Amino acid sequence: MVTITGKSVFGGVSIGKLLFYKRSEKVIKRTHVDDLDAEWKRFQEAKDAAVSQLQGLYDKALEDVGEANAMIFEIHQMMLEDLDYLESIENIIRTQEVNAEFAVATTADNFAKMFSAMDDAYMQGRAADVKDVSERVLDILCGVDTGLKEMSEPCIIAADDLAPSETVQLDKSKVLGFATQFGSANSHTAILARTMNIPAVIGLGEELSPEYNGKTAVVDGFTGTIYIEPDEETMKEMTEKRQKDLDRKALLEQLKGKENVTKSGRKINVYANIGNVSDLGAVLKNDAGGIGLFRSEFLYLENSDFPTEEQQFSVYKQVAESMAGKKVIIRTLDIGADKQVDYFGLDKEENPALGYRAIRICLTRPEIFKTQLRALYRAAVYGNISIMFPMIISVDEVKQIKEIIAEVKEELRSEGIPFKEDVELGIMIETPASVMVSRELAKEVDFFSVGTNDLTQYTLAIDRQNNKLDRFFDPHHPAVLAMIRMAAESAHAEGAWIGICGELGADLELTQEFIDMGLDELSVSPAMVLPLRNRIRECD
């Protein structure tokens, strides 16, 4: 038996054969070319074929994972039409008199290095994309096939890591789990695993070798461990563990349709946090009472330019209609800090967590803010939409927001465009400043939602992105809990309701304490809705 430990990105136990994702093996050689026009034409034909393939992948992804997740294939198509990219390839072919394969591979390496060297996290992420699209063109030029052979039986997919174009081609009904050598908790593989609710372990390193292809394996997504050819005792233990997990999920399924009510009769709203439209299925499947946080910045992160009013309206309308009258709280764009978008043209900051982000961008660039607000007020006609503003630190900011909203309403009214006049407004409580003036803020808004991730970061003066500080980052710190209690008291004193949409809302150890504080709502990942309902029903 071989035991390899990595990092869990989704819990559960899967047992099956390992199937390694095999990429095409091709050797790119530099060869001299005489007919340069013909070679450039050969590249252009391969590029056009790649664009056509990517359009097919976009159409498939649209059905499988929704528009927001399919957007990556539109971005890849645009990359293949990028003038700088094309000019580099043509220049290498013509000046060095070489074959198209060599020119594409060289350009891909150069661009990937260039992107990786940038300070901007978004641009660093483009390095993998340029390699991915270039590999596709190279496969066409070399005449090789890529990907998995037909999956004849359910199996555990193993790989170094998987690109979006690779995961979308998988037969999802036959994927038992994922095991990858590399990747991060935010990699496409990890996101897909969470969306599909299947066990996944990343960061297993090169110990996860292709020589194990076809071997029986167990992925323990709870501990981040994979067992290859497990012995009898381990197999028995893992089979029992898997059955217990399945039994637990079956019990939770029985909670569907039931209320989130404590033993003493107190009702708590349990909503779901989502990042894009493709997560709606998980919200409905897990019987969430509504959406407590829709992260609208994903519309900006997945676009190559500012999303238009119509693009945003279409997405917000779809979410509102799909939730059929249930509450949908949409947070206005929270760009900045760890979420960078190149077309915003944001300067590099020494301390971006304390910098130009979220509502600070919206209030200083009202043209961006107004576009989003117009789309939101128009979409509110089609469902129960509430609007929430992030990173608030003062009453003045809320008053400025209301002034801009008044302007937006007047514009829509004068243009004869239907919109909902009375939309519930709320703010994120994620700074100590907002807690300290929460009584005054509660007079201005309908609700608070506590962003515990940032509130913990700012209260403890600890960068939550810094892995070296993990041992000091304590969301259970008495100061953090005191902040939440204070915000709750302020909200209720002024007739507003209060919830939590940060990670702490799913911490079942604190559920009883949150109920004691008087919190009205907890918003968690869709997979945590039923476990949280179960915990609430156990509370006094």
Residues 359, 344: Cα–Cα separation, whole Å = 14
Instruction: List 261's β-bridge partners, or say none.
Output: 267
What are the sequence ranges of the domains in the chain?
A: 2-23+148-234, 36-142, 264-538
pLDDT in tens, 176-203: 999 998 877 656 667 667 667 788 898 8
Percentage of residues of the chain with pLDDT beyond 70: 91
Q: Which of 76, 155, 188, 362 is labelled catalytic?
A: 188
Work out the pLDDT band at 146, boundaries 50, 70, 90.
Answer: low
Task: Tell me the residue length of the chain.
Answer: 540
Q: What is the mean pLDDT of residues 402-408?
A: 97
Which of 384-393, 462-471, 502-511: highest mean pLDDT? 384-393
Predicted pLDDT at 165: 63
The mean pLDDT value for 229-249 works out to 91
Q: Could you tell me what percent of the chain has a pLDDT over 90?
A: 57
Q: Counting beta carbons within 10 angstroms of the beta carbon of residue 215, is it exposed (0 to 12), middle (13 to 18) or buried (19 or more)? A: middle
Give pLDDT tens digits for 449-495: 999 989 999 999 988 767 677 788 888 999 999 999 999 999 999 99
Is 188 catalytic? The answer is: yes
User: Does residue 351 carry a pLDDT above 80?
Assistant: no
**Pairing between β-strand 175-180 and β-strand 155-159 as defined by DSSP bridges:** parallel
The pLDDT value recorded for residue 122 is 62
What is the predicted pLDDT for the residue at 120? Answer: 65
- For 69-100, letters b (16+ CB in 10 Å) and e give bbbbbbbbbebbeeeebbebbbebbeeeebbb
Residue bearing tokens 């999303």: 307
> Rounded to the nearest 10 degrees, what angle do helices 478-493 and 452-460 cross at?
120
H or E stretch at 364:
helix 359-364
Q: Is the dihedral of CA 401, 406, 412, 418 positive or negative?
A: positive
CATH superfamily of 2-23+148-234: Phosphohistidine domain (3.50.30.10)
Is 475:451 a contact under the CB 8 Å cutoff?
no
More confident position, 30 or 190: 30
C-alpha separations of 281 from 192, 193, 284 in Å: 13, 14, 5
Give residue 114's pLDDT band: very low, low, confident or very high (50, 70, 90). confident
Q: Which of the listed ranges 69-78, 184-193, 233-242, 328-337 does the model predict with the highest average pLDDT?
A: 233-242
User: In this structure, what DSSP letter does residue 178 have?
Assistant: E
What is the pLDDT, as a whole number, of residue 143? 82
Would you call 219 helix, strand, or coil by DSSP? strand
Q: How far apart are CA 73 and CA 57, in angstroms?
A: 7
CATH of 36-142, one of 3.40.50.150, 1.10.274.10, 3.40.50.20, 1.25.40.10: 1.10.274.10
- Look at residue 220 and give its three-state secondary structure: strand
Superfamily of domain 264-538: Phosphoenolpyruvate-binding domains (3.20.20.60)
Model pTM? 0.62
**Top-confidence range, 78-92, 287-301, 414-428:** 414-428
CA distance 72 to 245: 34
More confident residue, 16 or 196: 16
Q: With 60 as the cut, is the pLDDT of residue 356 above it?
A: yes
Residue 110 has which token pair? 């150069």
On whether the CB atoms of residues 315 and 277 are closer than 8 A, the answer is yes
User: Range with the lowest mean pLDDT among 209-213, 475-479, 504-508?
Assistant: 209-213
